[in-house]
Amino acid sequence: MYQSSRRVRIVAYVALLAAIIFPLTLYIVRSPKVMTLLPVLMRTQSSRISRYSVRSDVKGYTLSLVSPDYLDYTTASLNIFTPNAVADPQMYHGQKGAVKRTQISHIKFVLVEEVDDPITAIVEGDGQKIEMVVVSTGDYDIQDDTLVVRVAVQFSKFSLLMLTSKFGWEEAFLRCAINTMYYALGTADPVADQEKLVHIKKDMEKNVYSGLFVWPFRITEKKI
């Protein structure tokens, strides 16, 4: 009788712990930040990383490539690797006449201090409750068969923002980088451009923040 009562108590304790721990674990795992980070622990190296490279020219900050998956998805939707897809960047700097186009096979993402003559910018804030702040700017260049996407993240501005608790630097970099790749196609259609930029933002919210794709980049501040 004693052993039977003891077994009943043990089963009751286990059931109680399960009732407490399981919902808590489920809540934590399903949270956006954990959902985004968890695949990083489980991922395997991919040969596709060789298509992309990264570099940081900003003292005190490193840029690393975590996963190429979302980049593959995005570049495929843009058809950026198709023949003659990328327009000469001079089209955005006063060049007249026919636009020279190039087929690229690699993309290099570079974190830079400043972009002198940006073709796109990411702005946060509504101008009312939250001050409007430019958090990143971008442009691009072509070196042989490589598209060089340059993005400047305004790290000093983030202290002024309220909506930067989750991957603020990475979001500013990624959105600007994708916008820049879109502009590299040289469509020059203001209506289509605006629609595409809105789509890029919504797509990141749907597919990256949800955890479906791992954040492709990680920006870290060096310890001094």
User: Where do the structural domains in the chain lie, given as residue ranges?
Assistant: 46-221
What is the rounded CA–CA span in Å between residue 192 and residue 189?
5
Query: Is 118:153 a contact under the CB 8 Å cutoff?
Result: no
Residue 194 has a pLDDT of: 87
Mean pLDDT highest for which of 29-43, 148-162, 198-212? 198-212
What is the rounded CA–CA span in Å between residue 49 and residue 66?
9
Work out the end-to-end distance of the chain between its first and last CA atoms, rounded to an integer number of angstroms.
66
Total-model pTM: 0.75
Task: Please check the confidence at residue 215 and state whether its pLDDT lies above 90.
Answer: yes
Query: Is 36:42 a contact under the CB 8 Å cutoff?
Result: no
Task: Please check the confidence at residue 22 and state whether its pLDDT lies above 60.
Answer: no
Per-residue pLDDT band at 224 (split at 50, 70, 90): low
Count Cα atoms within 13 angstroms, Cβ side, for 42: 9
Task: Please check the confidence at residue 48 and state whether its pLDDT lies above 60.
Answer: no
Task: Over range 92-120, report the average pLDDT.
Answer: 90
Task: Please check the confidence at residue 18 and state whether its pLDDT lies above 60.
Answer: no
The conformation of residue 159, written as its DSSP 8-state character, comes to: G
Residue 165 has a pLDDT of: 53
Nearest to 148 by CA among 55, 83, 85, 219: 55
- Stretch (H or E) spanning 61: strand 61-65
What is the rounded CA–CA span in Å between residue 30 and residue 33?
8
Query: Is 215:177 a contact under the CB 8 Å cutoff?
Result: no
Residue 167 has a pLDDT of: 81
Query: Is 174:111 a contact under the CB 8 Å cutoff?
Result: no
Task: Please check the confidence at residue 35 and state whether its pLDDT lies above 50.
Answer: no
